[in-house]
A = this chain, B = another copy of it.
Amino acid sequence: MTEPPVPDEFSPDAESPDPEPQPESTPSQDPAGESGAGSPALEELPGGVRAAVEAILMVADQPVTEDHLAAVLERPKDLVQRVLVDLRREYDGYTGGNSPTIEPAAPRGFELRNIAGGWRIYSRKHFSSVVADFVLDGRSSRLSQAALETLAVIAYRQPVSRARVSAIRGVAVDSVVRTLVQRGLVVEVETDPVSGAALYGTTALFLEKLGVGSVSELPRIAPHLPGIEALGEYDDTTF
């Protein structure tokens, strides 16, 4: 990379003491008045644009594109790009880079990967074994009763939101749904156009495990209950 060192306003936590502080500069391509007038500019918040990018990356559960970041932050894409590259380097244990005398920092336990056109934070690869120990801790090869019941609701009510499954089962189901997703038995199939909530359905693996060809081949359940076709809307009314 022949990029000039990243400007000060988005790397204020450079590990090396800055021998000649740069003047308060605005990013080159960003006209001063362009960003939202009401809220304080990102540059004025502790950590600046760089920390804002980190904040987003930390909670994003799928890769985020540079375009998306640039749009949300209202900053030029090339600035965002440089922040990302810089963060990746920093997480990997490289410091500012201009002071070779300073001992390099150790890498962080997470890394920023650029995959499929987007950026996402993952646990660092060489800790896979402890991460796996943590994730697999307490997982057995059988589904819990709670997981089976939740799966049953999703199978017969798909596509269905977690809120509705909660309403039907009468308990919070977030973590159980997550387990089912990790198990590959259910998947987010669409997004509710009104609420924006994710709607879940069963997968081919589920059908395979159960030994049926398609969802329509699931045994009908008792006549008292609305079938899949009747999709009672009653539990929507409670939310």
Give the interface of A toward B (CB within 8 A): 12-15, 17-18, 39, 42, 45-48, 50-62, 64, 68, 72-73, 93, 101-103, 105-110, 121-124, 126-127, 129-131, 133-139, 141, 161, 163, 166-167, 170-172, 174-175, 178-179, 181-184, 187, 192, 195-198, 203, 205, 238-239
Contact = CB atoms under 8 A, between A and B. Distances in A.
A91 to B, nearest CB: 10
Contacts of A61: 175, 178
A163 to B, nearest CB: 7
A106 B56 CA distance: 17
Contact of A198 (B138, B171, B172): B138
Contacts of A197: 137-138
B13 A130 contact: no
B198 A58 contact: no
Contacts of A179: 238
Q: Which 10 A-B pairs have the closest CB atoms?
A: A54-B109, A172-B184, A13-B105, A138-B197, A51-B109, A55-B109, A55-B127, A12-B106, A55-B123, A13-B106
Given A107-B46, A109-B52, A134-B72, A183 B178 contact: no
Given A61-B178, A62-B175, A175-B61, A12 B105 contact: yes
A112 to B, nearest CB: 11
A48 B124 CA distance: 12
Nearest to A136: B196
B172 A46 contact: no
A170 B161 contact: no
Central interface residue in A15, A39, A68, A122, by most chain B CB within 10 Å: A15
Contacts of A139: 174
Contacts of A175: 61-62, 238
Given A56-B127, A109-B47, A109-B58, A166 B138 contact: no
A122 B59 CA distance: 8
